[in-house]
Amino acid sequence: MKIKPECAICIIRQVVDAVKEITNDEKEQFRLIKNTMEVIKEVYGENAVPAWMGTVVHRHLKKISNTEDPYKNLKEKANKIALKYLDKVRELCNDNNDLERLRKKVLATIAGNVIDFGAYSTDIDIEKLIEDTLNDKLKIDNSKELLEDLKNKNIKKVLYICDNAGEIIFDRILIEEILKYNKEVVAVVKGKPILNDATLEDAKIANIDKICRVITTGSDIIGIILEECSEEFLKEFRSADLIIAKGMGNYESLTEYENEIDKPIYYILKAKCKPVAENIGVNVGDNILLKR
């Protein structure tokens, strides 16, 4: 997926948010933002991929600020919020019907994405946001196809590409469901911190390493850039029979490789911006389980 003109607003907002996490010194904030905007000018253009453009920009910001993990505090807060609601979400996902239970657990992982807002603000009713998402519909609902694939004995290995901290706590709920179908699951997180994306530390907090193998991309890529991924990741990417990719960054980047991907890939996300929503053919705010 290529960027739209309005993607400039989002990337600049991300930079401002990150800078405010890095320092309270307003003079230093101006310096970091001004310096990073020069890099945005270099990589912004009609052929840019949003996640890949963001990778270049945020790597630069980490370098010039000498800050390895600008979102560390927000990620820790998001994980704590998610753990607080984990048992409640599990309870809401209970259903005797295989298809409905799977659908609810997909929505649970999308609900985890709203925890971002709670980490930024104390004025938001996180429990209501989570329950609203769980009670919402999937605008694109390929859960029937996913269930059929999980029941397919020829599909043995599932590569599960995670998105954010906080959200990864609820990813465990869906991974546990996938494991019921006797699949080997390999979960993927970032090799180094970037934005609020999940790393090995977050996977361990979620106890995902207790139920399946966890690997990293080997890098601090937003989304996936195959050319920068580790050999370990590439081996699992090639040998997987099915891929589940969480979040907009993975959608933005992996769609660039769809002609090369010879297996089912399911995108699970909330379309949080107009460019992504238009690319998929839905409205902003819609919940998506899309098979490609």
Residue 131 has pLDDT above 90, yes or no: no
CA nearest to 15, candidates 76, 49, 62? 62
More confident residue, 240 or 121: 240
Which tens digit of pLDDT belongs to each residue from 27-49?
Answer: 999 999 999 999 999 999 999 99
Interval 92-99 mean pLDDT: 95
Backbone angles phi, psi at 94, to 5 degrees: -65, 130
**HSE-up (13 A, CA, CB side) for residue 236:** 23
Q: pLDDT-based confidence at 147, cuts 50/70/90? A: very high
Tell me the whole-structure pTM to 2 decimals: 0.96
* CB contact set of 232 (below 8 Å; sequence gap of 6+): 215, 216, 218
**Amino acid at residue number 213:** R
Tell me the average pLDDT across 238-258.
97
Average pLDDT of the chain is 95
In this model, does residue 119 exceed pLDDT 70?
Answer: no
Q: Report the share of the chain in percent with pLDDT over 70.
A: 98
Residue partners of 282: CB distance under 8 A and separation at least 6: 139, 140, 271, 288
Estimate to the nearest angstrom the gap between the alpha carbon of 241 and the chain centroid: 20
pLDDT tens for 171-219 read 999 999 999 999 999 999 999 999 999 999 999 999 999 999 999 999 9
- Which pLDDT score, from 0 to 100, does residue 129 have? 84
What pLDDT band is residue 123 in, cutting at 50, 70 and 90? low
DSSP characters for 186-216? Answer: EEEEBSS--TTB-BHHHHHHTTGGGTSEEEE
Q: What whole-number distance in Å separates Cα of residue 49 and Cα of residue 279?
A: 13
**pLDDT range class, residue 122, cuts 50, 70, 90:** low
- Asked whether 278 and 254 are in contact (CB, 8 A), the reply is no
* Assigned token pair, 226: 């195959």
pLDDT, one tens digit per residue, over 56-90 is 999 999 999 999 999 999 999 999 999 999 999 99
